[in-house]
Amino acid sequence: MKPTKGRTLIKKTADDLGVSESLTQDVVDFYYSTVRKKIEAMKHTTIFLHGLGTLRLSRVKLKRDITGLKKLLSSNEQEDFKKVIRFKFTQEQLTQKEEALENCNKYYEPLYEKRNKNLESKRANPGGDKE
């Protein structure tokens, strides 16, 4: 499969639909800016993108990022203006990632419990029911 460049795709889509390239570009830009905002906000544990699949937040990566941000905040001294801004931004990121991790835990725990119950029942009865 040969990949298509964005400019070519926009032009071809505009021609196929009979609309201007600028309108097509605006629609694509709006769609991807909305998707980017949802991903950056980390309010949802999963985001489904038609044609691309489902994006899921990784608990492991969130935990790693939270640990790194906590280290940065504990070692950061507010000496000059740039450090104050970075400190505040890091605090906001930490809060956002902690909330996302909490949402991930709420989403994944029931799934893991269900999977574990299924595994336990298979171990208890490996051959299945024989009647």
When mean pLDDT is compared across 2-6, 50-54, 98-102, 113-117, the lowest value belongs to 2-6
pLDDT confidence bin for 80, thresholds 50/70/90? low
Question: Is residue 130 scored above 60 in pLDDT?
Answer: no
Per residue in 33-72, pLDDT (tens digit) is: 988 888 888 888 888 888 788 888 888 888 998 888 888 7
Q: Which of 96, 98, 91, 93 is nearest to 59 (CA)?
A: 98
What DSSP string runs through 4-69? Answer: --HHHHHHHHHHHHT--HHHHHHHHHHHHHHHHHHHHHT--SEEEETTTEEEE--HHHHHHHHHHH
114 Ramachandran zone, left/alpha/beta (phi>0; psi -120 to 50): alpha
Q: How far apart are CA 48 and CA 81, in angstroms?
A: 40
Per residue in 7-41, pLDDT (tens digit) is: 788 888 899 999 999 999 999 899 889 888 888 88
